[in-house]
Structure 1
Amino acid sequence: MAQAPAPASAPIQSVTVPYVRAPVDKSYRKMLAGVARFERDHAFAPAASLRFRLLPRLPATTMEGVSLRIAGERISVPLALDADHRFALPHNAEAEREDAAVLANRRADSLTWRAAIHSPGVAQGTRRLGDLRLECRVGIEAGLVSNSSPIFGWLSDALGSADQVCTSADGNYLFFADRPVFSVTVRHGARADVLPFSMLYAGGRLTAADLRFCDCQVLLDRSYYAPIFDPAWPDDSIVEFAYIQDAPVAAP
């Protein structure tokens, strides 16, 4: 009895597996939205340029050798980091079409991200308030902050936009100084106000359980809130830092 011919083997198909974004890797599209927000609100810091910055989040995080790239289904674009782990974000149409991610060669939960906006001529150990106002708007628009404790209530739908977060006294947008802070003073003209303790160290009210949800874990002693929500402080107001190692020592 004649046998029916065996069916022809189906051709082997190749499948492109897209990059799957980890929860804390950053959306390239959202970061481009942050760049657009910087351009739209540039009047807060008209002489400044925009860069982004990587910071450690976990105690075990090492920043030595960290690298960064834009990663999509078919595209991988390395990003140059400076000595302070800051970088500029270029526009890449293909990466935007592919809904790429911006990711580092580290565990996604080991880093935190911030906008870095510095007007020229601002003295070392100080920040300009308008720069901080713009950093907040860009950071929220770009989706940089990943705090998830209930204490950071602005991550809820009730306070979800940059305009709400950055203009509200309850916005809770954390900034980080270069070194551990002893006190922070805001000055403009003859007015000078020392920020209360509640505006330092993430409000001084994080429990050990809360801290693991805050991207300030290893930067808690550098963290502070600024009065970016208060229109009584003009953009040219200066935020001055007294650092812990420079603080006066009480006599025995």
Structure 2
Amino acid sequence: MPPVTVSASQSPPAVEKSYRRMWRAMELFERRKGELAPEATLRFQLLPRKPGVSVDDVDLQLLGRTVAVPIAVAPDRSFTLPRHPRALAENAVVTPDRVARSMTWRARVRTPGWPAGSLRLGDLRLECEVGMEAGLVSEQPSLLGRLASVVTDGPGYCDTPDNRYIFFANRPVFGVTLHDGDRRHVLPVRRLWAGAMGDATLPQVLPFCDCEVLLDRAYFLPLGDRSWPDDTRVTFEYMEERDAKP
């Protein structure tokens, strides 16, 4: 009998997150919102990670051994998760129809009625804690020689003096400013663009950062500096606005 050759094409692994961890993150949000963001709501958000990747029309599902629940994704690529005890017991995953390293995830905590064009620092503090608890940050390399343990640390990381939790603005940023009454602080360059300005190793480490395609929108905040109250306003100057100035 002639030998039989079996060939199979193996699809790249899907991007997925632990439903159990995201459940814990939702519980953390409920526990901590009274202190940090009493009026805020929580959603999760899908973001592109690689050039050319679209996260529009994502088919998102909650999948367990006997559970398959479609998750509605809004036009702004955000979603909420249902409370599903059976999915929790089955250690289900939240999985989109995208391959590994093609996209990333963040929590989105927002207080309704906050001034347009600004974010509330307490919301972003809680957003970081929820994101860390849920394990949303895919990978975080060392940028500028700093060894960041964002992937393995828990919510307490958000309160450290020089944390490197990456937030993403809606558009490429030129500057980010904190406002508390008459006090004003423009973030230094080292807190913009994932701290990558002048980093000679950037071409080597960027493919391993979930900020790769959103680097010009990435920024860090002094979340652990409690001299800035939770009602501090965070405002943005965008690249397009800067370019339009005479």
Same fold (TM over 0.5): yes
> Which residue among 57, 81, 86 is the counterpart of 2:73?
81
Deviations 1:80-133 (A, max 9, x none): 111111111111011101100001011132111000111011223211000000
Displaced runs of 4+ in structure 1, greater than 6 A?
A: none
Q: Is the 8 A contact 2:163 2:220 kept in 1?
A: no
Gaps of 5+ in 1: 1-21
**CA separation in 1, counterparts of 2:230 and 2:102?**
33
**CA separation in 1, counterparts of 2:161 and 2:139?**
17
SS of equivalent residue, structure 1 residue 172: coil
> Which residue among 91, 94, 102 is the counterpart of 1:110?
102
Aligned to 2:33: 42
Q: Is the 8 A contact 2:17 2:136 kept in 1?
A: yes
**CA separation in 1, counterparts of 2:120 and 2:160?**
19
The alpha-carbon deviation at position 33 of structure 1 amounts to 0.7
> Which residue among 229, 233, 238 is the counterpart of 1:238?
233
The alpha-carbon deviation at position 228 of structure 1 amounts to 1.0
The alpha-carbon deviation at position 249 of structure 1 amounts to 5.6
SS of equivalent residue, structure 1 residue 247: helix
Aligned to 2:196: 204
Aligned to 1:229: 224
Q: Is the 8 A contact 1:154 1:170 kept in 2?
A: no
Tell me, yes or no, if structure 1 residue 28 matches structure 2 residue 19.
yes
Distance 1:126 1:229, change over 3 A: same
Q: Is the 8 A contact 1:197 1:204 kept in 2?
A: no
**CA separation in 1, counterparts of 2:28 and 2:40?**
14
The alpha-carbon deviation at position 229 of structure 1 amounts to 1.1
TM-score (norm 2): 0.88
Q: Is the 8 A contact 1:177 1:222 kept in 2?
A: yes
What's the Cα RMSD here? 1.8
TM-score (norm 1): 0.86
